[in-house]
Amino acid sequence: MKAAHLGRVLRTVAHLRPTQIVSQLRHLFNEERRAGATLEQTPERSIERAFVPFLDAPAHAQYDGALGFELLRRKHCFRDYVDWDFEGYGPLWLFHLHQFDWARGKSVSASARAAFVEDWIEECTHGAGWSPHPISLRMLSWGKLRLTPGALMQSPKMSVRMDNALAQQAQTLSERLETRLQANHLFSNVLSCVFAGLLYKGARAD
C-alpha cells in the first residue's frame, strides 16, 4: 500500500467508532453476505392481519408478470427463472431485486408471490440478498404481504417455512446492523428489527 493511501486510511479510521471499524472489517471479508444460523423453533405470530392496507409497490420497483423486472428505471427480462445473482446492472439493481418491494405490486398474483418467496428461500443461502440493507427491505415487504389477506397463496407447510425464514433474517440482521454506514441504512435495519419484534412474539422477538 502506498504511503498516501495508508495515510488516507489512518485519517479515516481515526474518526470511526469501534463498532464501525468492526463492521467495516466484516464487510471487507464478505461476512455480511452469508446466511445466519437457523432458529430451533418456528416463531409464533402475534399479528395475523394489518389493520389498514399497506401502500402499493413503489414506482421504481415494478414487475410485469412475465419475469420482467423494472428496477430503478432499468428493465431486465429473465427467461425461465429469476437469477438471484444477476449483476448485469450493478449491485444496486440486484439489491432492489432481493428487496421484494416489487412483489407488492397489483400485477403480481398471490401464487406468483408465494412462488418467488419459496424460490428465494430455496436458492439464496448466501450472496447479495444477505447483505443487511436488502434483508431490511425484504423483511418489510414479506411482512406486509404476510399481513395482507389474500396476498400470498401458500400451503400451511410453506407458511411455516416463510415464518422460519423471516425469523432467521431478523436474527441475522440484528447481529449485522450497518454501523459502518449509519444514516438511512442503519435506520432501515432498526426499523425492520422492530417490525419483526412486533410481527412475532416470545423472548427472541422481545
User: pTM for this one?
Assistant: 0.83
- Residue predicted with more confidence, 97 or 186: 97
The total number of residues written for the chain in this structure: 206
> Among 16-20, 44-48, 60-64, 149-153, whose mean pLDDT is lowest?
16-20
Does residue 197 register a pLDDT over 80? yes
- What is the percentage of the chain residues whose pLDDT exceeds 90? 62
SS3 16: coil
What's the first-to-final CA gap in the chain, in angstroms?
46
112-123 residue pLDDT tens: 999 999 999 999
**Grid coordinates in use for 6?**
495508508
Which band of pLDDT confidence, cut at 50, 70 and 90, is reported for residue 43?
confident
| Residues 6 or more apart in contact with residue 1 via CB below 8 angstroms | 9
Distance (Å, rounded) from C-alpha 74 to C-alpha 144? 25
Does residue 26 register a pLDDT over 70? no
Q: For residue 49, what is the DSSP state?
A: S
Locate cell 437457523: which residue?
Answer: 38
**Grid coordinates in use for 122?**
430455496
